[in-house]
Amino acid sequence: MGWLDGATVRPSGEAAFVIEYGDVIDAAVGQRVAALYAALMAAAPDGFVEAVPTFRSVLVLFDPDVTDEAALLSALPDETTGAAAVSTEWIVPACFEDPIAEDIGEVAAALDLPADTVRERLIASHYQVGMYGFAPGYAYLSGIDQGLTVPRRKTPRPPIPSESIIVAAGMAALASVSMPTGWYVVGRTALTLFDAARDPMVPFAVGDRLTFEPVGAAELERLAAEGGGVRRAT
How far lies 187's CA from each of 62, 160, 204, 224, in Å?
39, 11, 18, 14
* Its pTM surpasses 0.75: yes
Compute the CA torsion angle 125, 39, 191, 170 (nearest 10 deg): -30
As a CATH number, domain 8-84 is: 3.30.1360.40
How far lies 196's CA from each of 120, 144, 169, in Å?
34, 29, 30
pLDDT tens-place string over residues 204-232: 999 999 999 999 999 999 999 999 999 99
- Residue-range domain boundaries for the chain: 8-84, 89-232
Q: Let me know: does 56 contact 62? Beta carbons within 8 Å.
A: no
How far lies 2's CA from each of 5, 30, 32, 76, 126, in Å?
5, 16, 10, 10, 27
The region of weakest confidence among 79-83, 109-113, 158-162, 170-174 is: 79-83
As a CATH number, domain 89-232 is: 2.40.100.10
Per cent of the chain over pLDDT 90 is 83
Fold agreement between 8-84 and 89-232: no
pLDDT tens-place string over residues 16-69: 999 999 888 888 899 899 999 989 998 889 999 999 999 999 999 999 999 999
Q: Let me know: does 44 contact 63? Beta carbons within 8 Å.
A: no
Which is more confidently placed, 86 or 216?
216
Query: What confidence tier does 83 reach under pLDDT thresholds 50, 70, 90?
Result: very low
Mean pLDDT of the residues in the chain: 93
